[in-house]
Amino acid sequence: MTAITINLLPHRELKRAQRRRDFYVLAGLFAGAGAAIVLLVGAIISGYVAAQESRNDFIKQENAALDKQIGEVATLKQEIDALRERQQAVENLQTDRNIPVYLFTELVNQVPEGIYLRAFKQDGMRVTLTGLAQSNERVSELLRNLANNSPYIEKPNLIEIKVSQQQSKRGARLFDFSLDMMLKRPTADQPAPAPGKRPAAVPAAN
């Protein structure tokens, strides 16, 4: 007769307990692996952030140094401009001392016959002339000469012309006129004007 063996141990509860332990172990392993991954990623990100902050600090320092250099260049440019202005002012003063010579020479060269200059007035680079003329045509010729033939005079402008109360010795009618013009400051490469033939003056009035 065969004997029947009966296992009275609670094997189902044991298996469930074993599976529960296995689950907890695996959950712990996954949790540990996840934490390690998070820590690793955090460390990598922190390294990137630190490196970027270091680059940002370097860029800020370089920008500050560049701003300082730009400020020094701007200051130097201002000093150079001021020196150039002073140099130009000195050159203008030296040139302006010769302007009366240029003016007188140009008047000798450009005033036609039949024109008698009474006076002139200079205000800066503007000159006003007054005089007598034998005719309107003489005044027009003077304006053309000043406008076209002189490198040192520009923008001649007739202010007034009228019949004068004075007459020539022959009793001819004369004209009072006034005009103004602008002087051009000569450049270093311009030659000094050569004096020409002095024009004949209008005969003095009786």
Averaged over successive runs of 10 residues, the pLDDT of the chain (206 residues) comes to 59 77 83 86 86 87 86 84 76 66 81 86 85 89 87 86 78 86 71 49 37
pLDDT reported for residue 187: 65
Would strands 153-167 and 173-183 be described as parallel, antiparallel, or unpaired? antiparallel
Q: pLDDT at position 4, please?
A: 63
- Taking the CA of residue 197 as centre, how many other CA atoms within 13 Å lie in the half-sphere pointing to its CB? 4
CATH 3.30.1360 corresponds to the domain 106-183? yes
pLDDT at 74: 83
CB contact set of 197 (below 8 Å; sequence gap of 6+): 108
Q: DSSP letter at 4?
A: -
Q: What is the pTM of this model?
A: 0.47
The whole-number pLDDT of residue 197 equals 47
